[in-house]
Structure formats: structure tokens, C-alpha cells
Structure 1
Amino acid sequence: MDRIDIRELITEEQLKEGYNVMRQLRSHLDEVAYLQLVNEAKRIENYRQFALYANDKIAAVIGFQPMVTLYYGKFIWICDFVTDELKRSKGYGEQLLTYIHDLLLSEGYETVALSSGLQRESAHSFYKDKMKYEQVSYVFKKTL
């Protein structure tokens, strides 16, 4: 049985370790750009990252930030969430997301939202079927 530990990634060294998994989701970012964006998001948006370690190796990483909108009110936006492609279907994503839900409830949040790329059909099934998320909208983007 795997030894599981979930920790917040705070130090530069921890964030670099998280990049090794996060780059599977954010493949357009090299490590330098990744660290710059994470540090800026932490400073400006109160962005946080957590990782699930299985036997002392990162198996999944999640990044999120608090937001306030007229639609949701005060909530958490999950910006980034990925399980190492070699470690999928072992329950790590479910364990990490459940941990984050419990943490956020203890911090006074009642709503979590995220977007998922159209091509990520297995992720959509995970969110809807396993984690009981509702699909409430489409996200639109325009590059200026």
C-alpha cells in the first residue's frame, strides 16, 4: 500500500518539484516561466498549490485561488489540477481533490469551480461522475 502525504508547495524547491508533474498539464511553460507565473499568482491572487505524495514522490498537483463574483459569490477557482500520467487511475486525484474540499470547507468556502479543456473527456467524467461536480456553463476565450 502506498504511503500518502498531502502538503502545500511553498518553497521554490517544492514548486520546482511540482513542476515535474504540472508540466504534463501546462506543457507550454518552461520551468522559469512556470515559477514566475506561480510566484506572481501567489503574490497577487493568493494562489496556492498542494501536492499528493505517494511514497515520497509527487503523484498529483492542484493549484487554486480565492475569487468573488456576482454569480458564485465567494468561492475557490481551481486553476490547475493534474495527476502524473504514469500514476493515473490509482485514486490519487480523488484523494487530493477531496482533501482540498475539506480544507476549503474548514476555511469557510462552500463553492469550488473549475474549467476543463474540451479534449479532456476522461477528466470531465472524473469531475461529474466521481467527484459529483455539476456542469453549469461553457468557458469562452478570446486572445487579444
Structure 2
Amino acid sequence: MDDPTTTDVRELTTDAEFEAAYPILRELRDHLDRAGMEATHERMREEGYRLFGRYDGGTLVAVAGVSVGTNFYLGRHVFVHDLVTTESRRSEGHGSALLAFLHEWARDRDCETVELESGLWRDEAHRFYEAVGYEKYCYSFTYDLDAEGRGG
């Protein structure tokens, strides 16, 4: 049984753990329904995606999804695809603790950098990332291939 006074971070690997993470991830990825999220998660795992959870007293309160990659501008790095603390538990230090864990996890895998992207409209998230030491250094652009057929 979990100690109600402890906090920890661990990788989520079982169906039951992902089941517990789904409602928290949905707070960030509300455009996906459950079936879509499960199918996408399975594909992402095949491509190296790892999901970590921050527990407080045995209750899952924050999650982060990451992958390890290498490119010319970052070298070997961890990319944070998803980072969210459940709304009722924000501003309690769970997000920064989860990022601190990921920084050590990245170092243990000989990574040089941890990178993430955040939507332009997420001002509060940007303040948080800068407060924990992240630098805003570029814009990320997307091209919607489905829009090509619609005159996009």
C-alpha cells in the first residue's frame, strides 16, 4: 500500500496506470476522445514514447510523456511531448518536481538537453517553464497536409 505522506515519480507501464493517467492527459489533450488517445498512445509507445507519473500519497497528480532522440541542433535529447498536473493540484510543485526527475532521467541517458513545445496561447505555462529554467529559443511551425486538398 502507498504511504500517504510520500511523493514519488515512476514510469507508467501498465494498462491500469495508463487508465489512471488518461483523465489528467485529457486536461491537456482535450481534442482526443478515449479511443483516439489509446490508439495514439499505443503507436507512440512503439516509437519510443515513455509516460511518467508524479504521485502524492499514492494519488497520481501529474504526468509527463517523453521520448529520447538525436538531431543536429540539440544532440542527444529528451523531448517532453506532454506535461500536465491535474487542475486541482496545480501550483503545488508537482510539475517542477516532475521536470527535475526528467532532467536526471535525461542525464542518466547521456542526453545534453531537455526540450518541449508549448502553444502560443499558454502564457501561464510559459511563465512556469521560464521560472524553472527553460529558455524560449525558437518558434515551431506546422504544415497541415490534410489542408492541401482543401485549398490550404
Structure 2 length-normalised TM: 0.89
* Contact in 1 for aligned 2:10/2:53 (Cα 8 Å): yes
Point out where structure 2 has 5 or more consecutive residues left out of the alignment: 146-152
* Contact in 2 for aligned 1:16/1:31 (Cα 8 Å): no
2:29 match:
26
* Contact in 2 for aligned 1:8/1:51 (Cα 8 Å): yes
Q: Distance in 2 between matches of 1:2 and 1:92?
A: 14
* Contact in 1 for aligned 2:76/2:110 (Cα 8 Å): no
Structure 1 residue 96, shift from structure 2 partner: 0.7
Counterpart of 2:124 in structure 1: which amino acid? S
Counterpart of 2:86 in structure 1: which amino acid? D
Structure 1 residue 113, shift from structure 2 partner: 0.7
Of 35, 40, 45, the residue aligned with 2:38 is 35
1:41-120 matched pairs, under 5 angstroms: 41-43=44-46, 45-120=47-122
* Contact in 2 for aligned 1:67/1:76 (Cα 8 Å): yes
* Contact in 2 for aligned 1:77/1:112 (Cα 8 Å): yes
Q: Distance in 2 between matches of 1:132 and 1:4?
A: 22
Q: 3-state DSSP class of the match of 2:28? A: coil
Percent identity, aligned pairs only, is 35
Q: Based on CA coordinates, which of the two structures has the bigger radius of gyration?
A: 2
Of 5, 9, 12, the residue aligned with 2:12 is 9
Q: Distance in 2 between matches of 1:105 and 1:61?
A: 19
* Contact in 2 for aligned 1:66/1:74 (Cα 8 Å): yes
Counterpart of 1:38 in structure 2: which amino acid? H
17-26 or 64-73: bigger deviation: 64-73
Q: What is the aligned length?
A: 142
Structure 1 residue 103, shift from structure 2 partner: 1.3
| Structure 1 stretches of 4+ moved >6 Å | none
Point out where structure 1 has 5 or more consecutive residues left out of the alignment: none
Q: 3-state DSSP class of the match of 1:50? A: strand
Q: Distance in 2 between matches of 1:11 and 1:5?
A: 17
1:115-126 matched pairs, under 5 angstroms: 115-126=117-128
Q: Distance in 2 between matches of 1:36 and 1:90?
A: 32
Structure 1 residue 72, shift from structure 2 partner: 1.2
Structure 1 residue 59, shift from structure 2 partner: 0.7
Deviations 1:30-84 (A, max 9, x none): 22211111111111x2110000011211110000111221211221111010010
The CA RMSD measured in Å over matched residues stands at 1.3
Structure 1 residue 3, shift from structure 2 partner: 2.3
